[in-house]
Amino acid sequence: MLRRELPYQADSSALFAKIAHQPWAIYLDSGHPGNDYGHYDIMVADPVMTFTTRGSVTEVLDQHGVHESNDDPFLLLKQALHQYPRLESDLPFTGGAVGYFSYDLARNLESLPDHAEDGEHIPEMMAGIYDWAVIVDHRKRQTWLVCCAILEERKSKWASLCALFDGDAVQQSDGFIVNTEARSNFDEAGYQRVFERIQRYIHEGDCYQVNLAQRFSANASGDAWQAYQYLRKIGSAPFMAFMNLPGVQVLSDSPERFLQVSGRHVETRPIKGTRPRSVDADEDARQADDLKSSLKDRAENLMIVDLLRNDIGKSCATGSVRADRLFALESYTNVHHLVSTVTGKLSDQHEAVDLLRGAFPGGSITGAPKLRAMEIIEELEPHRRGVYCGAIGYIGFDGNMDTNIAIRTAIYSHGEIRFWAGGGIVADSEADKEYRETWDKASTMLKLIEHFRGDQDVGN
């Protein structure tokens, strides 16, 4: 493996700008230096192989050309990773798969009804196999360019990569403009009607919790990398991502880890329980205290902890799964959250892709029991979720993995930017509070929309 240290920059977006407009460029962004859970930034582009899943068909592009497969997309990715050497390193990623796994990829795993409108028209999975990466370690204040040159014809690429990152970023002239206000697919009355239907399902014993989301959309044009740079300023979170993929750009401001594998250690960190932040320090503290003491929010969180213990238990050694930390308060730009941590040890018979497949999609954004909650979501939400509530992250050649839950995530395609905000509905939920919570969660994306409305200077 080739490895070279680059000058460290606390704001690594300046480094990613050098490749931001390359095909399949992806930036897994810890948001800011020094946070507890995401202190590495990972940057990749120009994959040696890509996987694009639409419905039951996955298009695979590699050095031999393009072919299609009806096999399980998770299995295809697993088989591809097995083709390359298992590289051990002190860095979190030195090559492997990076991409998104949309919420609707679950249709390849479960039989779900077909009610909601597909307003996304983008693939259910887009992932690449990458043989080089830039890794930024904000704790050690070090940056590394690494290349494993898994194909013979790629070995000459090292010199050009070094020259690229030694040079200056090419300035792009395209700005980003939002041409309309954000429109929701629920007004408050519509949300109330759907909320009441979920309550009936809960009281009739169909489910215990259902995550209900509203979808916002606005017409837009230009380069979403400009929008993502502004998003980093107003909504920093530990599991952010920007993805420049064919036909779609993804801007994720996620605070939630879905699944991490480090060696054989497994971790998931479900979020359930939210209160808005306040600029008034006393009110902000009151909101945080109210969340910490809320029996309703703790019960909601515990339901999902139990679901995830079961989900990761499918791939973990018997007796290894436990809840290490319950109901920890974490505060972000616009909201306070309750976050729990569940860990386990990957069994000898399973690997990272098996874990991802077995727990997909994350229980914190479906409800419980998972399959019935997903059926109800499909029945009651007007639009498919697409990437929202899926996962974004990497699976390395070394067997390690880290993925987020793609919440607080915007999708830019077909001249439109779309984002969602939701929350878990339980028996003692109140419709007006739940509806208000979705707006609290959407507030950062709504600020982004407002900032780029009209012919504004994107540098402001």
* Catalytic residue annotation: 256, 272
270/254 Cα distance (integer angstroms): 12
435, two tokens: 């509806």
Contact call for residues 373 and 218 (beta carbons, < 8 A): no
Q: Which amino acid is at 291?
A: L
83/97 Cα distance (integer angstroms): 12
**Which ranges constitute the DSSP H helices of 18-126?**
73-81
The DSSP bridge partners found for residue 325 are: 341
- Strands 257-262 and 401-405, bridge-based pairing: antiparallel
271/292 Cα distance (integer angstroms): 13
Strand (E) or helix (H) holding 343 = strand 335-345
Q: Which amino acid is at 221?
A: S
246, two tokens: 């064919």
Q: Which amino acid is at 326?
A: L
DSSP letter string over 104-151? Answer: GGGGGTS-----SB----S-SEEEEEESEEEEEETTTTEEEEEE---S
Q: How far is CA 81 from CA 1, 128, 175, 260, 287, in A?
A: 17, 10, 37, 17, 46
